[in-house]
Amino acid sequence: VETSLPSTAVVAYSYEGGVLRLLDQRLLPHEETILECTSALETAEAIRTLAVRGAPLLGVVAAYGLCVEARRVAARSAGDLDVALQVAAERLASTRPTAVNLSAALDRMRHVALATAGGGAEERVRLLEAEAARIAEEDRAACGRIGRLGAAWLRERIRVPKPTVLTHCNTGALATAGIGTALGILRVLAAEGPLAILADETRPFLQGARLTAWELLKDGLAVTLLPDVAAASLIARGRVHAVVVGADRIAANGDVANKVGTYPLALAAHAHGVPFVVAAPLTTLDPWMPDGAAVPIEERDGAEVLRLPLSGGGHTALAPAGASALYPAFDVTPSALVNAIVTERGISEAPHAEGLARLLAAGAPR
Ligand code: MRU
């Protein structure tokens, strides 16, 4: 008998009647402010400025971004719907290049738009909304299965009374439509028994410090923050039993693009024989990308490294005026460093080219 899945009090988004409401992640943990998007342009801006982020949630939000645009245009001039949706999809797709979930969700929505061309505007908008809801529901369900499968895999391999698991960035209810991917696994493990969750701060946007810590505490789970730079030495000293992270795009050979700072964790885990686990729904798999070399890596403005936003607005400088900074926002972990890739359909163990191909061929989960 399966125990029930842990639930979450976090509401990252909602959609109703042409209005997309997003919990503004730029303001967490200080403020819980809702951002209302009623056009694709506003939605794209929210994505670009990281008010909303996390690969699976980007797919869901982009899909609803097309819905708000469809409602907006249909109310004014239904005849313009197809051109408006095309422009909106391109605008949304261009916001962030690395997470493949974004373009995959938009492709699904475009498919519905094409298949319903010539139909009544109201009916078409309803069908687009139904598809966006399906994308969200599928992601919610995928998180649950990933949580269960990943927790079982780790429990079998870590035989200490209270394991310490390190995670990076935010992969939870603020990054998906469900309990999360990597964080979903940690939520299930924490529900099953004693667990210490270590969260990398994740410089410079501080997804770990601001978001992962906020959502875990909101759900009554303890979390210990770790400066990113301390992870490798802690792993070397045997203080970490597993590293569990998410992904923004997984290539056919199992190379994993994820938040910058993931690759150094994989190197350290490999060097010290600590399991390194990647958790992601199949929507994060890009079977057309043979390996990680071709994955587009988002370069963000160095200004985001040089200054820290203040809770009351404005910024404080972290470096002298005149200093410049580089900000590659993602890195690629070679497949050989990844012990397991946990998806909703099962787990791939090395060699991942075969493991992932098998999962893709397996069809819908039983
Ligand atoms: O820049 P972000 O915050 O969108 O990056 C998010 C990550 O790198 C996550 O690890 C990834 O999207 C998986 S979220 C389930």
Q: Which one of 8, 53, 168 would you pick to mutate in the ligand 1 pocket, going by the greatest count of ligand atoms within 8 A of its CB? A: 53
Summarised one tens digit per residue, pLDDT across range 17-34 is 999 999 999 999 999 999
Q: What whole-number percentage of the chain has pLDDT above 70?
A: 99
Distance CA 77, CA 69 (A): 12
Q: Cα of 258 to ligand 1 centre, how many Å?
A: 7
**HSE-up of 286 (CA within 13 Å, CB side)?**
26
More confident residue, 77 or 268: 268
Q: Which one of 50, 103, 258, 265 would you pick to mutate in the ligand 1 pocket, going by the greatest count of ligand atoms within 8 A of its CB? A: 258
Distance CA 361, CA 16 (A): 36
Band (pLDDT 50/70/90 cuts) for residue 77 is confident
Q: Residue with the nearest Cα to atom 6 of ligand 1?
A: 54
Q: Which one of 248, 327, 331 would you pick to mutate in the ligand 1 pocket, going by the greatest count of ligand atoms within 8 A of its CB? A: 248
Residue 35 burial (C-beta neighbours within 10 Å; 0-12, 13-18, 19+): buried
Q: Are 177 and 139 in contact (CB under 8 A)?
A: yes
- What's the order of all strands across the beta sheet hosting 196-200? 224-226, 196-200, 164-167, 242-245, 276-279, 340-343, 346-349
Summarised one tens digit per residue, pLDDT across range 102-153 is 999 999 999 999 999 999 999 999 999 999 999 999 999 999 999 999 999 9
Residue 73 burial (C-beta neighbours within 10 Å; 0-12, 13-18, 19+): buried
> Residue 68 CB: number of other CB atoms within 10 A?
25
- Within 6 Å (CB) of ligand 1, which residues are found? 53-56, 99, 169, 171, 175-176, 181, 207, 246-248, 258-259, 329
DSSP string, 90-106: HHHHTS-SS-HHHHHHH
DSSP string, 231-297: HHHHHHTT--SEEEE--SEEETT--EEEETTHHHHHHHHHHTT--EEEE--GGGEETT--SGGGSPP
* Catalytic annotation present for 286: no
Q: Cα of 245 to ligand 1 centre, how many Å?
A: 9
Summarised one tens digit per residue, pLDDT across range 156-186 is 999 999 999 999 999 999 999 999 999 999 9
Q: Which of 326, 330, 360 is nearest to 345 (CA)?
A: 360
pLDDT average, residue stretch 39-46: 98
Q: Does pLDDT of 1 surpass 70?
A: no
Collapsed DSSP state (helix, strand, coil) of residue 219: coil
Q: What whole-number percentage of the chain has pLDDT above 90?
A: 95
Q: Cα of 111 to ligand 1 centre, how many Å?
A: 26
Q: Where are the beta strands (DSSP E) in 148-202?
A: 164-167, 196-200
> Phi-psi category of 252—alpha, beta or left, where left has phi over 0 and alpha has psi -120 to 50?
alpha
**Catalytic pick among 139, 200, 228, 248:** 248
Q: Are 290 and 252 in contact (CB under 8 A)?
A: yes
Distance CA 168, CA 264 (A): 11
More confident residue, 98 or 4: 98
Owner of token pair 């962030």: 96
Four-CA torsion 82, 83, 88, 94, nearest 10 degrees: 120
pLDDT of the residue at 211: 98
pLDDT of the residue at 364: 57
pLDDT of the residue at 223: 98
pLDDT of the residue at 207: 98
Q: Does pLDDT of 327 surpass 80?
A: yes
CA gyration radius for the chain? 20
Distance CA 143, CA 60 (A): 14
pLDDT of the residue at 311: 83
Summarised one tens digit per residue, pLDDT across range 209-253 is 999 999 999 999 999 999 999 999 999 999 999 999 999 999 999
pLDDT of the residue at 126: 98
Distance CA 177, CA 183 (A): 13
